[in-house]
């Protein structure tokens, strides 16, 4: 096992879900550091001292202009993504089917637009993490460890 320190980034994802099974995604600008030009769920980084559910609601408001009350939001699970030699990311995923306001691109300097995507059949334009979040929502489990090396033992 390596003694190299791993950086850990805590992210949140807020899935805004229509009753027809479509989730709202953003498309980061082509020069974005994360997922340039790919469709991603609404979300971002956790700020110091911020509760996970609050961070997800904050990100939704910042990116889409909508407001979510705490009682409209459900925790769905965690995604722990490992990048060999890089940064590990843990994403807390929340979902809501109701909110106040009409979603719009509230960060046109960061995103090329908003798009409704089927969680059952996500488009190839979706970032792999978004596809994994959709799969977790539709099939479970509520925790997914992605890109981790196999560590012996039996399956």
Q: First vs last Cα of the chain: how many Å apart?
A: 20
Closest CA relative to residue 13, chosen from 127, 109, 121: 127
In the DSSP assignment, the letter for residue 148 is: P
In this prediction, residue 6 has a pLDDT band, given cuts at 50, 70 and 90, of low
How far apart (Å, rounded) are the C-alpha atoms in residues 72 and 117? 21
| Half-sphere exposure at residue 82, Cβ-oriented, CA atoms within 13 angstroms | 10
Q: Provide the pLDDT for residue 4.
A: 52
Longest dimension (CA), the chain: 51
Q: Taking 60 as the threshold, does the pLDDT of residue 154 lie above it? A: no
What's the average model confidence in pLDDT over 77-106?
90
Q: Provide the pLDDT for residue 7.
A: 60
Do the beta carbons of residue 52 and residue 46 sit within 8 Å? Answer: yes
Global pTM reads 0.87
Q: Taking 90 as the threshold, does the pLDDT of residue 105 lie above it? A: yes
DSSP state letters, 90-153: EEEEEEES--BS----S-TTTEEEEEEEESSS--TTB-HHHHHHHHHHHH--SEEEESPPP-SS
Q: Provide the pLDDT for residue 81.
A: 84
Do the beta carbons of residue 25 and residue 113 sit within 8 Å? Answer: no
The mean-pLDDT minimum among 20-34, 38-52, 80-94, 140-154 falls in 140-154
Give the residue carrying structure tokens 């300097």. 109
**What are the structural domain ranges in the chain?**
15-146
Q: What is the CA radius of gyration of the chain?
A: 16
In the DSSP assignment, the letter for residue 45 is: E
Q: Provide the pLDDT for residue 146.
A: 78
15-146 sits in which CATH class? alpha beta
**H/E element holding 134?**
helix 128-139
Q: Whole-number mean pLDDT of the chain?
A: 89
Q: Quick: pLDDT tens for 13-66.
A: 999 999 999 999 999 999 998 899 999 999 999 999 999 999 999 999 999 999
């Amino acid at each position: 096992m390596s003694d190299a320190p791993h950086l850990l980034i805590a992210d949140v994802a807020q899935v805004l879900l229509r009753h027809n099974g479509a989730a709202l995604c953003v498309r980061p600008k082509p020069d974005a550091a994360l997922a340039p030009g790919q469709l991603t769920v609404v979300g971002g980084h956790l700020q110091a001292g911020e509760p996970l559910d609050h961070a997800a609601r904050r990100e939704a408001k910042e990116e889409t202009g909508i407001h979510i009350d705490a009682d409209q939001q459900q925790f769905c699970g965690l995604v722990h993504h490992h990048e060999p030699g890089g940064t590990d990311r843990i994403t807390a995923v929340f979902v809501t089917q109701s909110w106040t306001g009409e979603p719009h691109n509230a960060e046109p300097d960061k995103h090329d637009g908003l798009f409704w995507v089927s969680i059952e059949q996500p488009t190839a334009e979706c970032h792999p993490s978004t596809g994994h979040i959709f799969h977790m929502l539709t099939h479970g489990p509520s925790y997914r460890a992605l890109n981790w090396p196999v560590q012996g033992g039996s399956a």
